[in-house]
Amino acid sequence: MKVLLASSRGFCFGVEDAIETAQAAVREHGVGNVVALGPVIHNKEVVHKLEAEGLDQSGDLETVDPDKILLLRSHGAPPETYARAEERGLSIVDATCVLVKRAQDSVRKLHEDGYRVVMIGDPNHPEVKGVIGYAPNVTVIDHETDLDEALPYFERIGIVAQTTHSPEYVADVISSILVRPFREVKIVNTLCLEVTRRQEAATALAREVDVMFVLGGLHSANTKELARLCEDECETYHLETLSQFDSSMVTGKSVAGITAGASTPEWIISDFVKHLEAI
Ligand code: SF4
């Protein structure tokens, strides 16, 4: 089978930095002494590898032993997490991606400048939960939100978006906001260019192939978005590991395309390519 790879795919610099920060912290403080408040990234294989190297990813802020080092994940955390960690005497190693930090700073600045902040994002995603902590009463809007109910009249609103959303989706939501009678609407572009590049490359490839495989965590927001975009172009499968592949997925197909989310390591991509090429 012929296999084509998306020109931009896999690990982004934010995820690479987070993994390196976690590994360096374990090397410096010792096995079992660094505790993350949940999986460092949305990829089971990488999470297991970090666990095997001695990183505890099952931490709870209220119960972490104060002798341990608290690792904050690439998705970031709200200010209360930093404050509570300080109260409990925990030292912090911060692996928040710089682009997530930029979104947090934008939210704080919009609030300070008198805007009512609106965030386009998934209210259950850890990045969104963290970012909205930087201003009071942030309204979170996702595709299921009833705008009439969620957004009453405010004189000035300031909009940011979850870093991993696609520009098209964000533009759609913003258009629905702009038809409402707010006096002033300020938009801060908080989208991640790494993600946008992967989305453009995936869409272009999906137009050329018979079937697309999107590799990455089933809970990874940016991987789910890649799969959604590819589905619009051709038959698409979102797989976490090679074990989920079934040969019926490529029956009658001669060219397969592969892309991968920002938290998918290269080894998973190359194992999958080898497997498909052997068919
Ligand atoms: S996808 Fe973008 S925002 Fe998210 S960790 Fe990677 S570089 Fe940072």
For 142-158, how does the pLDDT look when each residue is reduced to its tens digit (9 = 90+)? Answer: 987 788 888 999 999 99
Beta strand ranges found along 188-246 (DSSP E): 211-215, 235-239
Q: Is residue 253 scored above 90 in pLDDT?
A: yes
Instruction: Summarize the confidence of residues 36-60 as an average pLDDT.
Output: 91
Other Cβ atoms closer than 10 A to 225: 21
| 220 pLDDT tier (thresholds 50, 70, 90) | confident
Q: Is residue 71 scored above 80 in pLDDT?
A: yes
Dist. CA 158–CA 106, nearest whole Å: 9
Q: Which atom of ligand 1 is closest in space to residue 194's alpha carbon?
A: 2
CB 3 within 8 A of CB 275: no
Reported as half-sphere exposure (CB side, CA atoms, 13 A), residue 154 has a value of 23
Q: Identical fold at 2-10+194-277 and 99-187?
A: yes
Q: Is residue 111 scored above 90 in pLDDT?
A: yes
Region of 216 on the Ramachandran plot (φ > 0 left; ψ -120 to 50 alpha; else beta): left
Six token digits for residue 254: 């001669």
- The rounded Å distance from CA 183 to ligand 1 centre is 33
Domain ranges of the chain: 2-10+194-277, 13-97, 99-187
Instruction: Summarize the confidence of residues 165-186 as an average pLDDT.
Output: 94
| 62 pLDDT tier (thresholds 50, 70, 90) | very high
pLDDT for position 148: 86
Dist. CA 18–CA 15, nearest whole Å: 5
- Average pLDDT of every residue of the chain: 95
For domain 99-187, give the CATH number.
Answer: 3.40.1010.20
Instruction: Summarize the confidence of residues 228-239 as an average pLDDT.
Output: 97
For domain 2-10+194-277, give the CATH number.
Answer: 3.40.1010.20
At 265 the three-state DSSP class reads: coil
pLDDT for position 219: 86
Six token digits for residue 118: 């609106």
Instruction: Summarize the confidence of residues 25-48 as an average pLDDT.
Output: 93
pTM score, whole prediction: 0.91
Residue nearest to atom 5 of ligand 1 (CA): 14
Instruction: Let me know if domain 13-97 sits in CATH 3.30.460.10.
Output: no
Tell me the angle at which helices 221-231 and 193-206 cross, rounded to the nearest 10 degrees. 30
Instruction: Summarize the confidence of residues 60-87 as an average pLDDT.
Output: 95
Is residue 97 lining ligand 1, measured as CB closer than 6 Å? yes
